[in-house]
Amino acid sequence: MMTPRYTPLIDSLPASVPFVGPETQERATGRVFDARLGANESVFGPSPKAIAAMEAAARDTWMYGDPENHDLRHALAARHATRPENIVVGEGVDGLLGYLVRLVTQQGTPVVTSLGTYPTFNFHVAGYGGRLETVPYTGDATDPEALLAKTRETGAPLVYLANPDNPMAGLHAPGVITDMIANLPEGALLCLDEAYIDLAPEGSAPDIDADDPRVIRFRTFSKAHGLAGARVGYALCAPGLASAFNKVRNHFGMCRISQAGALAALGDEAWLTRVRGEVAAARSRIAAIGAANGLESLPSATNFVTLDCGRDGDFARALVRELGARGIFVRMPFVAPQDRCIRISAGTPADLDLVEARLPEALRALR
């Protein structure tokens, strides 16, 4: 049988995705999860204003979305006190990460990241032939000094840091990030993933000049704004880098509905404040449920809580399976020793009632 003549790189890669979706698991078991608390979505939903804007935009989906994302870029520039030339909009942070990696990576290019951090970045590096150079976590936190040392050692043009972190939920103080930027080797670019920064304490975001060519910051409407299914992410960076995205991005990748929803969500500060309050309450309750069951919570600046099971990765994986069998979808870190933990997204009070009732059952089944 004739097959396409794949490149050697594509032939060498597995046909896999970084995350197994809850829908895949539901199809396999024939059962819908009672509580969907593994993907760090906002179960509190998008702003009612965003919903209304998307409903109105649905009538116009016979038209492509604006390829320049003009209105959203200008609104984001105003929000961040910068210029539209500093803003790139794309299909979620995941899509933008892929474009960035494509811009600076070719076969064999070293790229630095933390072992066990957000795996979709690694997926793109592998997909473009880059060579991942990793450093371990230190005390369940990403280690900026180790990342810098590895960047110097390898001559990598790109280094990735998620702050707040996924999957451990921790946060580096603003000064740590600005020091890291100041100490980057010549020609290295910091990819600063701030997907969860809207849910971190006030003042957590470092003060970074959008024109600084040493760093690109990624933000998203998927978390605090509740638009994960709409796939809207954006980057703040120097104009030259922002312009370079136009060389490779899918110019019609953003649909009109997503553009309208994000623009309306950006203007509803009251809803964002409400969601922050709901998330804070859910984090406290998850920590309390964990403590009642002998699981220690790690500090969280995100919309999820990482619980230390106090055992090894095999135990944590078994606990994830037991919870799944009881209708609770959660996830866990992938790499030891962080894989001793499980991760539970902020849920509604009803969601967390189910966790409170079923977590002890799952633990009893293992112990």
What integer pLDDT is reported at residue 1 of this predicted model? 65
Strands (E), the chain: 35-36, 87-90, 110-114, 131-135, 158-162, 189-193, 215-220, 233-236, 296-297, 304-308, 328-329, 341-345
What integer pLDDT is reported at residue 100 of this predicted model? 98
What is the rounded average pLDDT of the residues 164-183? Answer: 98
What is the rounded average pLDDT of the residues 207-224? Answer: 98
What integer pLDDT is reported at residue 335 of this predicted model? 97
What integer pLDDT is reported at residue 354 of this predicted model? 98
**Amino acid at the residue 240:** G
Q: Is the pLDDT of residue 17 over 90?
A: no
Q: Is the pLDDT of residue 13 over 90?
A: yes
What is the three-class DSSP state of 46?
coil
What integer pLDDT is reported at residue 118 of this predicted model? 97
What integer pLDDT is reported at residue 16 of this predicted model? 84
What integer pLDDT is reported at residue 262 of this predicted model? 98
CB–CB of 224/303 below 8 Å?
Answer: yes
Q: How far apart are CA 9 and CA 7, in angstroms?
A: 5
CB–CB of 164/170 below 8 Å?
Answer: yes
| Domains of the chain and any CATH numbers | 19-45+270-366 (3.90.1150.10), 48-267 (3.40.640.10)
Only one residue has tokens 């059962």, namely: 31
pLDDT digits (tens, 9 = 90+) for 89-142: 999 999 999 999 999 999 999 999 999 999 999 999 999 999 999 999 999 999
What integer pLDDT is reported at residue 3 of this predicted model? 83
pLDDT digits (tens, 9 = 90+) for 318-353: 999 999 999 999 999 999 999 999 999 999 999 999
HSE value, Cβ hemisphere, 13 Å, CA-based, for 77: 19
pLDDT > 90: percent of the chain:
97
Give the pLDDT band (50/70/90) at residue 19.
confident
CB–CB of 248/220 below 8 Å?
Answer: no
What is the rounded average pLDDT of the residues 220-249? Answer: 98
Q: For the whole model, what pTM was predicted?
A: 0.96
pLDDT digits (tens, 9 = 90+) for 283-303: 999 999 999 999 999 999 999
pLDDT digits (tens, 9 = 90+) for 260-274: 999 999 999 999 999
